[in-house]
Structure 1
Amino acid sequence: MGKTTKKPKLKIPYLEIFIEQAPTAIAMFDKNMCYIAASNCWIKDYKLQGIEIVGQCHYDLFPEINQDSKDLHQQCLERAIDVYDEAPFKREDGTVQWLYWDISPWYISKGKVGGLFIHTIDVTHHKESELKKARTEDIFTQTKEVAKMGTWEINLATKKVYWSKITREIHEVPEGYKPNLDKAIDFFEEKTSRPKLRSCVEDTIEKGIPFDFDFELITAKNNIRWVRVIGKIEIIDGKYSNVIGLVQDISDVTFYKTQLSKAHAQLKAIYNSESISIFSTDSTGYINHFNKGAEKLLGYSAEEMEGKKDPTCFLYPDQVSKFREDLATTHGKNPDNFSHYEDLPVENVNDTREWTYIRKDGFTVPVQCTVSSVKDDLGKNIGFIVVSTDISELKKYQNELIAKNELLNFAEQITLMGHWRRNFITGQGYWSKSLHEIFESQGDGSDFSQDKFEALVHPDDKQMILDHMRETVQSKTFRSFTHKIVTPSGRVKTIHVMGKVVTNEKGEITEIIGTTQDITELKMAEKKLKGLLESAPDAIIIINEEGTIQIINKQTETLFQCSPDELLKEYIEDFIPNILPFIKASKFSNSNNTRQVGVVEELVGLRKNGEEVPISINMGPVEWESELFTSLAIRNITKQKAAEYKILKAKENLEVLAHKLTEQNRQLADFTHITSHNLRSPVSNLNSLLDIYKTTDDEVLKESLFDKFETVINHLTLTLNTLIEALKTKGPHSDEDVEEIEFEDVLNTTKDLLAGEILKSGASITSDFSKCSKIKYHKIYLESIFLNLISNSMKYRSKIRKPEIEIESTNLNGNIMLEFRDNGLGIDLEQHGHKLFGLNKVFHRHPDAKGVGLFLTKSQIESMGGTINASSKVDVGTTFTINFN
């Protein structure tokens, strides 16, 4: 035993020396995979120079060794031998070595393993060569497919023609298609390409002349393609053996060359444009290109500028200094003695700002100018290109902006209205100057926080405001509402708020915009109305469309001998049986009937104790806070019944009087609705223009909108004055109201009033007044007719197409007619035709639908002795025809 233990100890030192001098990479390990010895090649291959590895664990030096390799080592320690020709070994630094290895155990004594020998050969270079070759072959195959390049061959001995797969695909023939030489050439365009290719192939076969040309090919599927065909002779044993070649589909290349040529022509046209100033400088700052637009803008010729001057000759020094300072700051350079030609060798420069150019004649011109760097193929700056646009007109409009803004503020003051917005992303709020005045708050349109607003809300309405905000956020819809505020001076005001929720593409709220109107006076008028009801001699009941009692006066309590709690919110037929059919019938009454509209006689009222009271009722529609109600004036006619003979005697006079009163009420209601409608449209238009102004980023559009603001405001003032004058007449129109009017003038006025809606909807309005250009008519009525019919066409436009409105006049033997045609939603006349021109009748769920426009239009036309009728088809459009005689 002693002898066997000493033997390996004596051999190991010699073995270590042998291993260290071995010409290949070999290492000796103990059973714990700790190094006993390693060859110099091992040290070099595995980059272990300068490291004392003897005694260190192999796994500590190479932590990247995976568990599979460790398991393999353990198997080899159990007297197994492993050999692997090629295996990747990924180093910790990310590099990969390809290794040949063989692992075998060494023995301390017979049958007793002392550790492992690992012998490796680095075959990385060989493996990479193989991979590169395979990759090259794969790339070549893919390149041919991507480049749409196929091969072809003509065997001169057999005259057979061979096409590769891609060649067949280019010709669009089946996979098994076998061409001959004549058929192959017949695929080409017959006038030019075919004879040229035939000549080339013949020269190659007979004289060995190679060719490389582009030809027009017509495929088997009759598609036209451009191909590049290359052919050359193959010589074997000194004889012409085959003609071999390539065919490449270059249709896309030819197309892009054509497009590039067009783009170059377009770019050249832009550069030579006289409307845009373009010049460029070289790396030293001198102008090397100066286009016609620059000549026109600055008054210098290209000959005066190119290669002779730099841009500072027509720039103010302080603007140049500011430009250089800004560029230096932007690119992190020292502003002192900074030069954008020398200190920005590779940086991208793209600077847009306003400059003032000094023309050759000494006059100045403001421009919007963009300076961009010009780079060579290596990405280095070789100069700058400058594109400038004359903004003289823009500056002129800017000077008018303050005045027009004052006009807008004035319009808000007239209507006691202000506008606001709240940004949900930044949390900031904005109030207009007029809104600050309503709230008596200090501000001129600057940010206004939600906390400051809530502090001004009346204590009774704070919870309602919070509930409304919560509902708006959840539903993403802003419902208009009314609430009270307490101003810093202690005044209690009532305001009405309308708004719109703005969302992004994800449906998230980004902003809420809206208007706030001081309706304190309106609420006071409501109180006066209630006072008026109390002073009325008759019992007054106001009901909603469902027939529920909403408002009563004291006389109602006396008549029915009930308390307010027993009357309010109760059903009207519980107190006046069978009244609803009369109410519904009154809505469709015709003013030509001899019976007075809305008057119902000899009904019975039921008191609390069941007693029946004979009553008469005068009823009419009432619009209040955008809702429709019915007012019932109820009179106890018990005494009249008792004195029936007196009533019969005075019946005729009473009917005449009632007719006059009813007609006056109708005229007053008609005038009221005209006033409301003609004022609402301009105000609505102002809101539309304001909405466009706030949402657009186009400065030119913004400026043009102010002209429209002024037009609408002037027209609003004119409408107010006109209606006041009309009110003073207190009677039907006279001959003085009729004047000669141009249809085109009325249409232009209407377009100005609806400018915001026209822009917003993209409506197209065309007219043909060639057959009859003017009419003698009531001007207010004619403007109202145009306004109602055109605004209806845009309001009820189709969601899938832009509105198109056509207006045409005719004159048949002195009978003047107008047709208004649109392509909107259309109306189902079978279902709604009988109530088309009824008051407050709407046929589409449009938020602004009031049902007043067509009623007013019909009333105005008929009052002047004319008629109006309609034809319509759902989702096709509607035509209104007006006969003025």
Structure 2
Amino acid sequence: MFGINFMISHKWMQKTYIHLHPTICYIFPGYIPNMLVLPQQRMNSILKCKKNTLYLRLSCKMEIKELLIEHLIRQLKDNHPPNKLYYNLNLYIVVKIPYMDRIEKSTKKTYLIYTASITLIVSIAVIIFTENLNIAKSDLHSINIAGRQRVLYQKITKGLMDFSEIKEAKLAQAKLKTLSGHLSEWETNHAYLLNANKSIGDSRIDSLFALIEPFYQKTVMSVNKILDQTDHVNNSPSLNIDATVDNRNRYLDFIDPIVKEYEHNSNAHFSSLKFLLYALASGIILFIISLFYFVIVPTTIRLKEKSQALLTTKNTLEDSYKETHRKMLEITALKADVETEAEYKKIFIEEAPNAIAMFDNNMGFLAASRQWRMDYNLLDNKIIGKSLYEIFPSIDERWRKIHLECLAGAIHNEDETKYTWPDGRVQWLTWDIRPWYTSKKEIGGILIYTTDITTIKEKEKEKLRIEQILDKANQVARIGTWEVNMISGKIHWSKVTCEIHEVPHDYVPKLDTAINFFKEGASREKIQNAVKNAIEKGIPYDVEVELITAKGKSRWARAIGQPEMVNGQCERLYGVFHNINEIKVSENALNKANEELTAIFNVSPISIIGTDFNGLITHFNKGAENLLQYSASEMIGKKTPEIIHLKEEVIRHGKVLSRLFGKNISGFDVFVEHARRNHFETMEWTYVRKDGSQFPVQLITTAIRDKNGKIKGFLGVATDITEQVNNRKKLIETKESLEVLTNKLTNQNRQLADFAHITSHNLRSPVANLQTLSGFYKDAESEEERNELFQKFEVVIGHLASTLNTLVEVIQTKDQSTKATQELSFEKILTKTQEIISSQITQSGAIIKSDFSKAQKVVYNDIYLDSIFLNLVSNAIKYKSEERVPEIYIESRIEGRNTVLTVTDNGLGINMEKHGHKLFGLNKVFHKHPEAKGVGLYMTKVQIEAMGGSISASSKEGEGSTFTVIF
């Protein structure tokens, strides 16, 4: 048994519940107790089950007429339309199934038992597994600690042995600190292992720890005794290090069995844990299988049986309302078809590409296409329902009369109509007005179709104007048109074409005789071939031919033809005739004169180059081609004379002319400035051939003027003067060789002087270094110190030998070889300098810092750079302050295109106001120092300036100095 409840809802009324009985229908507005309120979701012909209730919804659109459902109409009388009411009817079917409650309770009970059992088993398994996992983790930690004890004991014994060999106090203190840390960790780990074993109660591990305890105590006491001593120098008799080291092997022999015992215990625990996991997994699987077969399967079978009964009920319900549903769908489909048809008609009119409007009998707008709205500027206006005369009140009576006639059944149309708007705007229209009929064959209104052809009319007017202009232009330019109809064979000549052929204006040429107007020979053959290709292949032509007019006169004309091809066949050939007789006669005369001038122009062996006003080459004779290796085609119209000149000469002469005339002169103007001022210029230049070779020329430049005296271009005539220049060079070379010999002798004298200064100064520091090292060697107490000093002897002697060899090589080379350069590393030069004066650095305790990251290398003379570093660094040490440790900072950087080196010290400093002007003078000293000679800075300055650089200094007495070298 089950009950069925129905609910009707729509958008104009509150929810109304209807209880359907086989014979009576009662309508109950409002809420009815004990009746379910369904969720408002769409369920068309779909059966759903929620808990123990079936929900089925049927949606449709109904037409409610008067007196159809009296009670329903009473509720809607204030809201529905006057004639009929369409509203949405949602029919909900609710089916109550009592036995679903019992199935639900049984399923919940089974689910709770199953969930509780699984939760209990999993909780017990987690507790057991966690306990065993903690034991395994403890075993692994004990193994790590025991292994760590072995390593720490080895570090302690090794630290003791290293400590016995240390002589310096600082290193000994550091070693004691490390040893103390190892001992502390070793004691902590030992205590942890003892406590951990007490909780386990392993007797074997206890016995092993009892055996190891004496060695542990003895080691702790020995190390603590060592840590308590602070004087490590006399530790050999009292520290008992050897005894502690001897215990090492015995301690390690006992600690290894302890580690193995821990590993054995860990493996046993892991085996137990593995067995436990297998047992728990097997129990859970068996429990799940039993639940599945004894609980889930029976419940599923019962649910399947009840579902089958439910499906039978569903089918019964669907059959009960299927017929009603079908009728509702028919009504809905019919209304949808009507609405769709109306929508299509509306879209057809609105989206039509032409201007169309539909009016009723009162000339009110029913529909209008978008093009209509655009043509009449109505896109932003709401016109549907409004009268045409309301929107356009200025429509004259003629149009109103046409509208009335069409409403009576007439049809009016025109292809062209001129309409003038009130604002004076003129519009051309093509239009069609006709009535439209209802389904009862009655006139429902009119359709107006219009097309704005204003643009077309304006283009036709413009075309006519252009044709008139072209006709007048053809008369002036003597250009005539012609046309041949290849199908009919008819030929048409314009008036100008007839005049060119000297025939009457009404002359009608024939296809077979028109060719006779072309002069026999080349002209006739040329036009015949051109016409043949145009007809057969569709190729247009443009040729110059000679005509023989009807009066027997010779006349040149330009014939242009264009074929019109259809499906590969020429149907029409048309074109123009241009009378070019005067142009052709002048051209022939000019060509003849040009040939004569060219012959004269190219005979001369002299280079003749002509240019236009802006310098572009217009003439390039054979003499220029022979001298410069360029062809005329490479130069004419493409290059200027600058390409054959040395840029340096052009720039230099441009500066001279700029100073002479008081304005900036450059580029091509350098060659023609005198010519522009009605002068010609004769000057020696260097020409550059195409292959890059150079030769001297004597160039004469003049201007080319027209008959009015206006400059049209320039002409340059050049002759090769290589022989004259060579003779002049021989005289100059003889003179220069004498000057070179004099300079060579002077340079050799200066070289000898520099060599003497460099030798005395650069050898002084290595020799002084050797003397100092010799004193250290005599005072050395151990063989190790002597060996170390002996190695420094070898380094200094090596640098000394290198310096001597280099100086000998310098004196044997020419003067310019002393300035030979190479890429040098600042870092390497500084390292070499430190090795040379290592004894001075050690003796003074100087701290040398450098930063060459901004400029790591420089291209320079290696001898000079060695000397510069040696002088500046040794001076910084030599003139150090007694109040502080000498600090020297050397830095390099790039400034513009130069490399800059700065050397800064914190030494005695110099009074720049008193001594600044003579700082780099020869034999100038500013401090009382036994080794001060006044040569180092002088030689440094000479060497830097010899390489084109400079050196400067800034200093403050008592604070230090900074020397800046610009390479």
> Common fold, TM-score beyond 0.5?
no
Structure with greater proportional strand content: 1
- TM-score normalised over the length of structure 1: 0.28
Structure with greater proportional helix content: 2
